[in-house]
Structure 1
Amino acid sequence: MLNEFWATASSSYKAVVFGAMGAIAVGIVLTVVGQVSRNETLTIASLAVIGVGLVLHSAGVVIRGRKVQKSLRK
């Protein structure tokens, strides 16, 4: 079961995972752009985007943990 989790994962879990990766990537790019252009506002705003990515990542961990627990109880 654990070796095939991605193949059997729900579409909501996959969406959360890709959303988290995308938000973190966008946040990192915004951080770099903000630093290169010396735009402190953009750099600080990028932290919020990275934070959203981390919250989505945590939600993905919870979704996956619940599914694993349900499968182990069976």
Structure 2
Amino acid sequence: MLNEFWATASTTYKTLVFSAMGLIAVGIILTIVGNTSHNQGLADASLAVIGLGLILHVVGMVVRGQQIRKGLKK
């Protein structure tokens, strides 16, 4: 079932998912770098990057949910 889920997903959904994962990963790396170098500004900025990644993830879930609902109506 997981293979079918990903195979039937739109390019928009896949782009949102990978963008969200990338932003969250970059945010985590920035957090580590900011905290190890005692750069509070970088550590704070990393939270915004992680937050943006989480927002993109939620948008992706909404997009996928709408696509599934449209598919069920057919």
Query: What is the TM-score with the length of structure 2 in the denominator?
Result: 0.92
| 2:69 counterpart of 1:69 | yes
Gaps of 5+ in 1: none
SS for the counterpart of 1:9 is coil
Shift of 1:71: 1.5
SS for the counterpart of 2:38 is coil
| 2:17 counterpart of 1:17 | yes
Aligned residues: 73
List structure 1 segments (4+ residues) > 3 angstroms apart after TM superposition.
none
- Residue identity in the other structure for 1:72: L
Distance in 2 of aligned mates of 1:35 and 1:71: 46
Gaps of 5+ in 2: none
Shift of 1:8: 1.2
| 2:42 counterpart of 1:35 | no
- Residue identity in the other structure for 2:13: Y
Query: What is the TM-score with the length of structure 1 in the denominator?
Result: 0.92
Alpha-carbon RMSD = 1.0
- Residue identity in the other structure for 2:31: T
Question: In the alignment, what sits opposite 2:49?
Answer: 49
